[in-house]
Amino acid sequence: MGIMRTKSIEQSIRDTEEPEFELRKSLGPLDLIVFGIGVIIGTGIFVLTGQAAATYAGPAIALSFVISGITCALAALCYAEFASTVPVAGSAYTFSYATVGEFIAWIIGWDLILEFTVGASAVSVGWSGYFAQILDSFLGITLPTSITAAPGDGGIINLPAAVIALLLTVVLVIGITLSSRINQVITAIKLLVVAFFIAFGVFFIKTANWSPFIPPREPAPGGGGFSLDNTLWESIFGGVSSFGFPGVVAGAAIVFFAYIGFDIVATTAEESRNPQRDLPIGILGSLAVCTVLYVAVSLVMTGVAPYGKLEGAAPMATAFANMGQSWAAGLVSIGAVCGLTSVIMILMLGQSRVFFAMCRDNLLPQWFARVHPRFRTPYRTTIMFGVLVAIIAALTPISDLAELVNIGTLFAFILVSIGVVILRRTRPELPRAFRTPLVPLVPILAVLACFYLMLNLAGWTWLRFLMWMAIGVVVYFIYGRTHSRLARGDTR
């Protein structure tokens, strides 16, 4: 069978019924939509929107969100078919194992480990910054830099970032139902804050801030030629610049981070009461809601404040502060803390489920795949990665990680889109509660759109991503290739 051996869908589903690996099924369609919204609305809307507007797209950042949203929608249609056909934990990893083979499944699983772990660590650091700001603004408590920044940022340890990661690890171990209920409360709070920002900010819009809507193209610092600081597209085809239409596309590649989340809904497939019906609703519903909110927020934000002033870490608060509404800026900061809390939790949830699926297949040690006898959660993987996220967030000055997460996610989307076409040809008889329309056109468009956005990420991002993938290949050939359940003929 070799490294391209596939694991049948029937076997994947049988694995979920084994007592030592069985997860509790307690999530309905509303839970899944809220999970998706809970992780999508976070760092992207509270942080990256302003940075991308100031650096790349100007007021046309709204168009960047539309481009990213369309790209995600194409991939989401493919995810929805897979998730309803293969209702098994692991998301793109499991889908790839059933279609394109074990080695590609390993690559995508390794990729998702990077995406979720780095993403959760980065958001924890962002949470720490907002938390310190709230303490200072409302209580007059100023936390020393030594305990709120990593060594490379002038501190000793980022304690708040580590604490929030560990607290959420406990929540995730206790159970998926508790996690869902906490996420619903947090998501409701941040949705109210986002709605407040739109409804209140619309009265302060100055249309002059939208002119020109797409700022004229400008030469970017550093000039042309090949450079790891330039996007791969610029290095290959030249034309290094900011703003203009290329800036809108580059902005789309950056704010793509803001959409990461709907794919995490697919990782909870085994914990859904009716996955064939509920997963497509959760995936497409959360994506639709967030796209509308993102476009509205970006238009209000760039209408309230000149886009050049939005580059800081808290652009929504900056926009209100620019209006002289400091109380509103403080309220938005509270919403940001709530928003980032749910993002950390759901990224960690997705991470533990992907790793759980890989360990259950014995591509990694199966010891980690045991579930808690009472809570029915993969507690060993949850605890391990919770501690890892806390350590990274506490000791690492995280920069450029949004791009690293983006390239991994776009790569996963490409493989899932290809997998839909393959599965349609190899297993046409499978019952599909949801069918991707216009196959193979929609999957092909999804692949092309994702790859184009990948080309608009920096050379450094590509280099780091390829290095991580190379490490993964080594691990697979040392352990996974010979220890996997398929390699050993274990088809329980």
Better pLDDT: 374 or 446:
446
pLDDT, one tens digit per residue, over 30-89 is 777 777 787 788 767 777 788 788 888 899 999 999 999 899 889 888 888 877 777 665
pLDDT reading at 143 higher than 70: yes
* Residue 492: per-residue pLDDT: 53
3-state SS of the chain is CHHHCCCCHHHHHHHCCCHHHCCCCCECHHHHHHHHHHHHCCHHHHHHHHHHHHHHHHHHHHHHHHHHHHHHHHHHHHHHHHHHHCCCCCCHHHHHHHHCCHHHHHHHHHHHHHHHHHHHHHHHHHHHHHHHHHHHHHHCCCCCHHHECCHHHCCCCEHHHHHHHHHHHHHHHHCHHHHHHHHHHHHHHHHHHHHHHHHHHHHHCCHHHHCCCCCCCEECCCCCCCCCCCEHHHHHHCCCEECHHHHHHHHHHHHHHHHCCHHHHHHHHHHECCHHHHHHHHHHHHHHHHHHHHHHHHHHHHHHCCHHHCCCCCHHHHHHHHCCCHHHHHHHHHHHHHHHHHHHHHHHHHHHHHHHHHHHCCCCCHHHHCCCCCCCCCHHHHHHHHHHHHHHHHHCCCCCHHHHHHHHHHHHHHHHHHHHHHHHHHCCCCCCCCCCCCCCHHHHHHHHHHHHHHHCCEHHHHHHHHHHHHHHHHHHHHHHHHHCCCCCCCCC
Best-predicted range by mean pLDDT among 297-306, 309-318, 351-360, 404-413?
A: 297-306
Confidence of residue 169 (pLDDT cuts 50, 70, 90): very high
- State the pLDDT at residue 2: 67
Q: Where do the domains of the chain lie?
A: 2-483
What is residue 472's predicted lDDT score, i.e. its pLDDT? 93
pLDDT in tens, 307-318: 888 876 567 777
Judge whether residue 178 has pLDDT over 70.
no
* 396 or 159, higher pLDDT: 159
> Does pTM top 0.95 for this prediction?
no
Q: Which pLDDT belongs to residue 296?
A: 93
CATH architecture assignment, domain 2-483: Up-down Bundle (1.20)
pLDDT interval class at 375 (50, 70, 90)? confident
- Residue 131 is predicted with a pLDDT of 85
pLDDT of residue 89: 58
Structure confidence at residue 23 (pLDDT): 54
What is the rounded average pLDDT of the residues 239-246?
Answer: 72
The string of pLDDT tens digits covering residues 422-431 is 889 988 887 7
